[in-house]
């Protein structure tokens, strides 16, 4: 990990860039430094170095030490102690916000529907939905995308969330109640859709729906009950169909029907249409933001 990475992470936890640089200089020195030495080693301007050091003192990340010749030096709080303190402060803030924010939150007058125009953005939002689940999760996707959700899915299961997953391809480490999609091979489904469809719905209250290809990803996050209902029923329907086939029908008879029945073939004759709709609706160049709808 580079110093730039450490600086960036300290900034995420509340330090300014100058504070992070000064703290790193003190930690790296292993001995008290005066303001001039901190400025020289850290790149913090001499005109602001004492202000920066005083801010570190105020947050308890550095201490003044006095030498025998009345020289003032600064010593860093050891990293382990700093991290423990930051962790306690962070958890305390989360506890306060968890108690207070619901009390000042007004009931929504509009429902959210905002576009997602990149693979990292789509996966990150899907991870948010998984992390927020308290009762149930319905997930459908390809192993690559499900794998990126796996740690949070397992954590959700540990806290009592009922996790139902449909995977298009074999998952050697399934989580929750996992159904491997078997009507059509994953490459056939991919040809039909034109993308790897990802659906994640939590607590019947929010969902991410999107498609991924080698060229990019498109999708939406929403808390609209109607859209979330459709997402949940999409996953539930796939699971139910597999249960029916497994328990009531001969697999050979079903495969013959699934491959050759004219009505089924008619439903699959629009190869790639799903991905094209996503591409046209959520173009990366449009930079979609939050778009409330009623």
Segment 76-127, tens digit of pLDDT = 999 999 999 999 989 999 999 988 988 888 777 778 888 898 999 999 999 9
Look up tokens 């939150």; give the residue. Answer: 105
Predicted local confidence at residue 48, as pLDDT:
94
The Cα–Cα gap between 205 and 104 comes to 20
Q: What is the pTM of this model?
A: 0.65
Predicted local confidence at residue 290, as pLDDT:
39
Predicted local confidence at residue 179, as pLDDT:
93
Segment 29-59, tens digit of pLDDT = 988 999 999 999 999 999 999 999 999 999 9
> Inter-axis angle of helices 119-132 and 143-158, to 10 degrees?
20
- The list of the chain residues with pLDDT below 70 reads 1, 67-69, 267-294
Predicted local confidence at residue 273, as pLDDT:
61
Domains and CATH numbers, the chain: 3-80 (1.10.10.10), 113-286 (3.30.870.10)
> Inter-axis angle of helices 186-193 and 273-281, to 10 degrees?
50
Neighbouring residues of 30: CB distance < 8 A, sequence distance ≥ 6: none
């Amino acid at each position: 990990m580079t110093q730039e990475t450490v600086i960036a992470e300290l900034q995420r936890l509340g330090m300014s860039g100058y504070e992070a640089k000064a703290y790193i200089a003190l930690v790296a020195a292993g001995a008290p430094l005066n303001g001039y030495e901190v400025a020289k080693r850290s790149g913090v301007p001499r005109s602001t170095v004492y202000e920066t050091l005083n801010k570190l003192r105020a947050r308890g990340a550095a201490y003044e030490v006095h030498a025998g010749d009345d020289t003032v030096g600064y010593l860093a709080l050891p990293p382990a102690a700093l991290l423990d303190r930051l962790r306690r402060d962070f958890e305390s803030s989360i506890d306060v916000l968890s108690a207070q924010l619901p009390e000042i939150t007004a009931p929504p007058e509009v429902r959210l529907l905002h576009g997602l125009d990149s693979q990292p953005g789509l996966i990150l939002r899907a991870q948010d939905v998984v992390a927020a689940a308290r009762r149930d999760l319905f997930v459908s996707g390809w192993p690559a995308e499900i794998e990126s959700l796996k740690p949070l899915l397992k954590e959700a299961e540990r806290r009592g969330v009922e996790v139902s997953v449909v995977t298009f391809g074999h998952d050697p480490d399934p989580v929750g109640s996992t159904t491997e999609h078997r009507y059509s091979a994953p490459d056939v489904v991919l040809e039909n859709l034109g993308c790897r469809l990802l659906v994640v719905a939590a607590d019947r209250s929010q969902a991410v729906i999107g498609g991924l290809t080698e060229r990019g990803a498109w999708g939406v996050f929403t808390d609209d009950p109607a859209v979330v209902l459709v997402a949940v029923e999409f996953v539930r329907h796939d699971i139910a169909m597999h249960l029916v086939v497994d328990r009531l029908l001969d697999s050979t008879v079903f495969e013959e029907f699934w491959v050759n029945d004219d009505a089924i073939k008619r439903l699959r004759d629009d190869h790639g249409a799903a991905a094209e709709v996503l591409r046209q609706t959520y173009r990366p160049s449009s930079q979609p933001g939050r778009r409330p709808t009623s």
